[in-house]
Structure 1
Amino acid sequence: MWDPDRTVDWIAEATVERAVPILVGTALVTVLFAGGVGLVDQEAGTDQFTEEVPAQAALEEIDEEFEGSVGDSETTAQLFIESDNVVSRPALIRLLETQRRLEADGTLRVSETTSHADRIATELDDNAETAADRKRAIEDATDRELSAAIAAVDDSDTFETQLSTDYNPTTQWASTARVTVEYDVPESVQTSRLQTLQADSAAVIDETPRNDIGDNAYLFGEGILQTEITALLTDTAIVVFPAALGLILLFLLVAYRDPIDLFLGLSALLLTLVWTFGFMGYASIPFSDAIVSVFPLLLAVGIDFGIHAINRYREARLDEIPVDEAMAGSMAQLGTAFLLVTMTTIGSFVANLTSPLGSLRDFGIVAAVGMTFTFVIFAIYLPAAKVTADRLRGRLPIPEFGTTPIVSEGSRLARGLSGGVSIARTAPVAFLLLVVLTAGVAGAYGSGVDTEFSEEAFFPSETWIDRYDRLLEPFAPSTYTFLDTIDILETEFDESTSGGVTIYIDQPVRRDHSLERIDRIGRDPPASFEQSAPGEAETESILTVIERERAADRTFDRLVERRDRLGTDVPDRDLETVYDAVEASRPTETRRYLSANRESARVDIAVDPDAETPTVVEDAQFIADRTPLSAVATGDRVVQQEVINATLDSAIRSLVVAFLLTTVVLLVSYRLLEGQASYGLVNLVPVLVTVGLLLASMRFLGIPLTPINAPILSISIGLGVDYTVHFVHRFVDEFENRELFAALSATVTSAGGALTGSMVTTVSGIGVLAVALIPLIQEFGILIALGVGYAYLTSLLVTPSVIVVWDRWRTSSG
């Protein structure tokens, strides 16, 4: 049978004997992975979490098949212009001059721009085809002519959508105008190309007289949005990474107390990051918001491994054991703990492969591979590097600095860490009952944690931006115009980012009964939908366009009447003729609700603004299911709710899988290593307490489950196991030659010191994410810091009592 101890001993001896070849091999592998670092792409925003959501797929089909409202297409941008009165002559001239410059610059690939100024100008002069012609028409018109032209067009739906909701037709006044900017590029154009075009467009707009981008002019499009969201990640990294590195460096210096050991520990951490980034590049996994959290986790485990390795080696050297022997013996002991931690932590990461969200599966893959690299680097490279450095120290006049373990027996810190042993000595059963009760209550309370997903969750608050603005270069943040634009959309144009819902009809609508069935979609609506009349939902569809044209054109009205056999005011035969006629008169409106090939259609349904999103989505799916048409409920609300449901499902599923995998690995490993599978159960009790406390903290602090922090529950198992495995494994070694409480005290003195150094370094270094610009990353930093803190406390306070109760049970039963 395979003997893990023998394997670990062989690796430890080989590492010492072949230290220099290992360092050379590490350098070559690092060069290989460094080549992949440059291949890593960035991915930001909500798109990374919606790729496999059915409602999102339907939404993308709608974008491709229909001419949506302003901004629906990725190749369309919206320009918002603010003025004292955007319907005044100077403002109209300013708008048309801006449009002229955008259309005239061939490098921008702008095919067309439209605004309310165009409608007014063409009312004044039918032959005004270009922006320059329309500008002249406005300039040449008298005040009376201009006012009459505005009055003639201000009752059209299109005109109203191009002006803010405060538009007053009597005084002909509005505060904000919207200009549509169409780019002559394919829908499949790369985001980077779109970002460049829209950034250049913003520069042209800013150069136009009386325009000031970010002050009274705002360009909003997919390219701008992606650019600024990516800038959020960059600005966060510029501030957070140096702060985290500084804190990690400070506490590692305190833990190692030796510049050479500090350098070796930092080099191992750097190698972990380079190897993991390189793997991502070669595997074509983008660096996204979800992946950001992998690297703090790897740093947390790497810091822990490094401190334990150096600390155990120093313990061995206290007895003046030779360098090679001391390192081989230390790693033979620690290697097993490292292997256990690695296997269980990989299990907690791999559990995320069960997630329905692709971004979380990517997280699981990268984290598992990164954890494997961490084990290889800290179990093989670091010992080899340390042995090589100390061999040179023995030959060269290199001074020694800190060479003692973090905690020595009888020190104040050792006594401070012995609280758990004291409790285990006096009342272990009562304490465990209290702990289990507390964990159960915490878990029950934490089970009510909210789940959240929205674009706004990725956006910083104004408070944090103001704080970052006080920083000097290069730490000062970029300018984020999309925040102002979203505010304009919601306040000036009454367009919430959540909006209503859309029923996407994914089948041909040319058959005689098609429009009758579309009409019935809005009948007897659920309470969460607005009603235009009793029993009728407020809907917009191709039927709405037909009704408008019937009211405006008597000839068309008669055409429809002749094709309404049932007398329901809904045409039910020869629909192609009806479609051709209405599209000839209202092409834009028709193409909004009916695809060009008549193979699909859409129905927009207004939603009660006070209705809860889960209720709205449930009702929308009910409507889609009850219609005999092939229909899918979609819209931003539906997509968000589906991601929320998938996130909750992912969190629960990965937690269960991680716990089961961890349990199996621990039971099997301790059975093979120590002949006592029950040691694995000893490890699990503190871990469950950690999970319960972390869940309760999330709810208490108001931190919801999101696609970014969804893995935190499974991760907390990996973090908890990291600390308890070190404690239990060291106890098993000490218990072979000491009685129970003497072994516990020795464990606290040795392993407790390394755990303390690791905890302080990790919590301070990763906890600095709490000052990140992006709220989701802030929350993740807080959760990781809490998870590590709880894992540390439970390992030192709870594990001794678990061991004592376990020993009593073992003695009484055997």
Structure 2
Amino acid sequence: MKAQEIYKKFVWQYQKVWLIIIFGFMIFCGWQVAHLPVVTSTDAIIPRDSLWHYYEKFREQFGADDGIAVVLHNPKGIFNPKTLAYIQKLTSVFEDVDEIESVLSLTTIEDIRGGEETFEVEPLIGDEIPTDPKTLAHLKERARKNPLIFRNLVSEDFKTTLLLLRTTYRGEDLNFENRLMHKVESILQKNPPPPSVEIHLAGWPVVNVNMAAYMNKDLMVFIPGCFVLLCILIYIFLHSWRAVLGAAVIINLSLIAAMASLKLVGGALSPMTSVLAPLTMALALADVIHLTVTYFKLSPRERSVSRAVAITWAPCFLTSLTTAIGFGSLLISRVPSIREFGSAAALAMFIEYFLTFTLFAFLLPWIRQGKFKLGFNKTLVEPLAKNYPWWSYKVLILFVLLFVLSILQIDKIKVDTNVIDFFHHSTPVYKDIDFVDKHLGGAQTIEISLENPKGDFLDPHLLKKIDEVARWLEKHPLFYQAISPAEFFKLMNRAFHQEDENYFRVPDSRELISQYLLLYGGDELAHFLNEDQNWARISARTPEHSSEKINEAITELNQKLAQVFKGTGVKYTVTGKTYLVNRTAEDIVKSQVESLATAAVLIFGIMFLVLRSFRLGLLSIPPNIFPLVVNFGFMGIMGIPLNTSTATISAVAIGIAVDDTIHFLIRYKRNRKNREPVSAVKTTLRQKGSAVFTTSLSLVAAFLVLGVSKFIPTVQFGMLSALVIGLALLGDVLLLPALIYLLRKFF
């Protein structure tokens, strides 16, 4: 039974049944969308592997390393009564927040003091704020001599200080940071700083919540903006308001289905998945355009929905399949949110295909009743077809030159993810983090976990090795300040020797260290040494955000740790939020090579099978490899790095770019049966040119909408995807016909 007869018998005759099914399905999708979670944490991109689970145990023991730094800056200096009183007030208010475990500030940080017969562990600044200059000068000098305070809580010029809000352990609560930031900002609004004091916020929660905020703002622009733009383009291309209304229905339903697919695959709306909405809306238009153009290009006597469906269902299914394969190749990634994005987008492609060949097909007779006119026929398609093949060799020379130039630029691409550079430099979040980086060495840390399964860390030999690593970190250009258990014992040793600076060192006696530990009555050491003294932590602050530089520094750090702890039995592990995020960024880029290779093999394999011609299969490769190579060359020239955003483009784009190649070659093969190559190409351009231009330019326009974002990865994804689709269009209407002419004898 022919496809036309099957469609008539099982679909067209049961329109009401299919409409009821579609209605029920969309109600189900709407329910799923209503319960789609929103994730605001970068935890969502970190693979749940052994390193993640170790990090969970680490922060359960020592506390979260991804707190909020509330930074106060006073050009007149922070050691004055009004500023210190404000710090005390904020500290007290923040300590009452459920999401905050403790607050480390000048009014809570431990100052270990000693004299001839005294040993005290008290906050640097007590309940009463001193007002006389001598006392303030004395406290300032004590702060200078305390490594827990100087260059850690206060800057070297004593004009900047921070309140470190240590968060409670939260497990998999991915909305935790959003709640926390809302409370912190509310407290700061209700408690404004004194004159001349400015406030800056930094830390992973600040970065994550701002990412989510920009994502929400983007979606408020992308969805309506993309929808309006696509509707305008449909009218420009087809000159039919009825076609606009019909396409608008499919675009909206496909959007709902895509968001529902994200929920069904266990995903959530996040910065990594936010581009799914405009992407699906644009792709939903492709099958609509091809079906509509085919329907109206049929002669009045042959024109019927079943006939148009019979001609287009197979190539449209193949384009949906290859696009889904491009998305599906992201399942190779170790990153949860990328896998969820790939799965949801792949599923959405088949739902969009189903809606086009049922609901939209049912609307075609109604659309036919209005005005209709195909765009691009006179302006682009007919001139191309009429003047073919005289432009073929000129096009080939141009494409070869551009291809070679791009190849030469690819080696300039760097693999680097800089989370802070994801924000425009004019945004408040970028300015705040940049300020903290410059004045206090940043708010993010690299954590080192040290375990001694056969003993403890009260051994002076091991404490000195820990101190050696901490001092090495402070001398490293990428790190600013390092705190370890050794700092506490050095402070206690100095205090027990009447504050003699010569004794600011790790004691040589285990008994003396044990005695210090018994006398120590503070809480801060617990963040760096566990109760059994067999698990220790070194925390090193860094102002660097480049994954490339941080990973290079971590490689050096691992070499240093291996050298220092060789033969001691101590197990060392580099961990922490910063380490995991940067490692994941590298994994994303590396896994995309596998994704691209997988997608290319599967997609071109399908092309060979569908075309049932090895030669035509080979012919499909250059027009689709060319856009990817030029894209990488452009990235090299412009200095755009391979990061968590740009690395996913190639695997996705190859699935989209190949769509028009499929439509062109399938129609060319049919036309080739009774025509010679040149005539077959001309006929194919006239038959498919309008649809190819319309779908490709619609995709380009939809991706360009992403350029209005203030979130740099979204801008890069949109601009580069638009470039790839635009180049793929040129590859299909110029390079492919030129290759057919060049190789006409071979084919």
Q: Hey, what's the Cα distance between the residues in 2 that align with 1:728 and 1:212?
A: 71
Alignment of 1:459 with 2:423, yes or no, is yes
Change (3 A) 1:624 1:699: same
Equivalent residue letter for 2:155: T
Alignment of 1:329 with 2:307, yes or no, is yes
Equivalent residue letter for 1:367: A
Alignment of 1:30 with 2:13, yes or no, is no
1:767 to 704, 712, 717: 704
Equivalent residue letter for 1:601: A
Describe the superposition over 1:356-404 as per-residue Cα deviations: whole angstroms up to 9, x where unpaired.
Answer: 32222222211211122122222333212324x35xx7xxxxx6212x4
Q: Tell me if structure 1 keeps the 8 A contact 2:19–2:359.
A: yes
The alignment partner of 1:631 has SS state of strand
Q: Tell me if structure 1 keeps the 8 A contact 2:110–2:522.
A: no
Q: Hey, what's the Cα distance between the residues in 1 that align with 2:542 and 2:194?
A: 36
Deviates more, 1:681-690 or 1:109-118: 109-118
How far is the alpha carbon of 1:646 from its aligned partner?
A: 1.1
Within 5 Å, give how 1:433-582 maps onto structure 2: 435=399, 438-439=402-403, 441-462=405-426, 465=427, 480=428, 482-495=429-442, 497=444, 501-508=446-453, 510=455, 516=461, 530=475, 541-553=484-496, 578=513, 581-582=516-517
1:93 to 54, 62, 85: 85
Equivalent residue letter for 2:634: S
The alignment partner of 2:700 has SS state of helix
Q: Tell me if structure 1 keeps the 8 A contact 2:80–2:136.
A: no
Q: Tell me if structure 2 keeps the 8 A contact 1:162–1:179.
A: no
Alignment of 1:206 with 2:189, yes or no, is yes
Q: Tell me if structure 2 keeps the 8 A contact 1:529–1:608.
A: no
2:370 match: 400
How far is the alpha carbon of 1:769 from its aligned partner?
A: 0.9
The alignment partner of 1:165 has SS state of coil
2:147 match: 157
1:237 match: 219
Question: Any unmatched runs of 5+ in structure 2?
Answer: none
Q: Tell me if structure 1 keeps the 8 A contact 2:4–2:306.
A: no
Alignment of 1:631 with 2:572, yes or no, is yes
1:43 match: 39
Within 5 Å, give how 1:263-302 maps onto structure 2: 263-302=245-284
1:422 match: 389
How far is the alpha carbon of 1:656 from its aligned partner?
A: 0.8
Describe the superposition over 1:384-430 as per-residue Cα deviations: whole angstroms up to 9, x where unpaired.
Answer: 2324x35xx7xxxxx6212x43355xx34333333883247x64xx9
Equivalent residue letter for 2:441: D
Within 5 Å, give how 1:600-749 maps onto structure 2: 600-603=535-538, 612-624=549-561, 627=566, 628-634=569-575, 638-671=579-612, 676-749=613-686
How far is the alpha carbon of 1:89 from its aligned partner?
A: 1.9
The alignment partner of 1:41 has SS state of coil
1:342 match: 320
How far is the alpha carbon of 1:591 from its aligned partner?
A: 2.6
Q: Hey, what's the Cα distance between the residues in 1 that align with 2:42 and 2:492?
A: 39
Q: Hey, what's the Cα distance between the residues in 2 that align with 1:538 and 1:95?
A: 22
Equivalent residue letter for 2:160: T
Q: Hey, what's the Cα distance between the residues in 2 that align with 1:696 and 1:288?
A: 29
1:177 match: 161
Q: Tell me if structure 2 keeps the 8 A contact 1:42–1:287.
A: yes
Deviates more, 1:158-167 or 1:42-51: 158-167
Change (3 A) 1:142 1:506: closer
2:129 match: 138
How far is the alpha carbon of 1:488 from its aligned partner?
A: 3.2
Within 5 Å, give how 1:294-313 maps onto structure 2: 294-313=276-295
Describe the superposition over 1:329-349 as per-residue Cα deviations: whole angstroms up to 9, x where unpaired.
Answer: 222111111121122222222
How far is the alpha carbon of 1:541 from its aligned partner?
A: 3.7
Equivalent residue letter for 1:321: E
2:717 match: 780
Deviates more, 1:726-735 or 1:79-88: 79-88
Q: Hey, what's the Cα distance between the residues in 2 that align with 1:195 and 1:658?
A: 36
Q: Hey, what's the Cα distance between the residues in 2 that align with 1:420 and 1:43?
A: 54
How far is the alpha carbon of 1:556 from its aligned partner?
A: 14
How far is the alpha carbon of 1:654 from its aligned partner?
A: 0.9
2:736 match: 799
The alignment partner of 1:287 has SS state of coil
Describe the superposition over 1:663-684 as per-residue Cα deviations: whole angstroms up to 9, x where unpaired.
Answer: 221112222xxxx343322222
How far is the alpha carbon of 1:785 from its aligned partner?
A: 0.6
Q: Tell me if structure 1 keeps the 8 A contact 2:289–2:691.
A: yes
How far is the alpha carbon of 1:805 from its aligned partner?
A: 4.7
Q: Hey, what's the Cα distance between the residues in 1 that align with 2:5 and 2:556?
A: 62
2:179 match: 196
Change (3 A) 1:6 1:356: farther
How far is the alpha carbon of 1:517 from its aligned partner?
A: 5.9
Describe the superposition over 1:782-809 as per-residue Cα deviations: whole angstroms up to 9, x where unpaired.
Answer: 0111011011000001111333355421
Equivalent residue letter for 2:84: L
Equivalent residue letter for 2:389: S
Change (3 A) 1:797 1:19: same
Task: Name the TM-score, length of structure 1 as normaliser.
Answer: 0.79
Equivalent residue letter for 2:105: S
Equivalent residue letter for 2:370: E
Corresponding residue pairs, total: 728
Deviates more, 1:743-752 or 1:227-236: 227-236
Question: Any unmatched runs of 5+ in structure 1?
Answer: 168-173, 394-398, 466-479, 561-567
Q: Tell me if structure 2 keeps the 8 A contact 1:67–1:591.
A: no
Describe the superposition over 1:229-286 as per-residue Cα deviations: whole angstroms up to 9, x where unpaired.
Answer: 2211122223343333332221111122111111111111111111121122233301
Q: Hey, what's the Cα distance between the residues in 2 that align with 1:145 and 1:712?
A: 61
Equivalent residue letter for 2:530: S
Q: Tell me if structure 2 keeps the 8 A contact 1:12–1:335.
A: no
Change (3 A) 1:437 1:294: same
Describe the superposition over 1:294-329 as per-residue Cα deviations: whole angstroms up to 9, x where unpaired.
Answer: 33332332222111111110011x43435xxx2212
Q: Tell me if structure 2 keeps the 8 A contact 1:521–1:623.
A: no
Describe the superposition over 1:425-450 as per-residue Cα deviations: whole angstroms up to 9, x where unpaired.
Answer: x64xx965774574355245325422
Q: Hey, what's the Cα distance between the residues in 1 that align with 2:397 and 2:192?
A: 74
Equivalent residue letter for 1:178: L
Within 5 Å, give how 1:85-124 maps onto structure 2: 85-102=77-94, 113=103, 115-117=105-107
How far is the alpha carbon of 1:637 from its aligned partner?
A: 6.2
Q: Tell me if structure 2 keeps the 8 A contact 1:522–1:539.
A: no
Deviates more, 1:374-383 or 1:413-422: 413-422
Change (3 A) 1:684 1:13: farther
Q: Tell me if structure 1 keeps the 8 A contact 2:332–2:591.
A: yes
Change (3 A) 1:515 1:739: farther
Describe the superposition over 1:721-748 as per-residue Cα deviations: whole angstroms up to 9, x where unpaired.
Answer: 1111111112122223333222211211
Change (3 A) 1:551 1:348: same
Change (3 A) 1:718 1:156: same
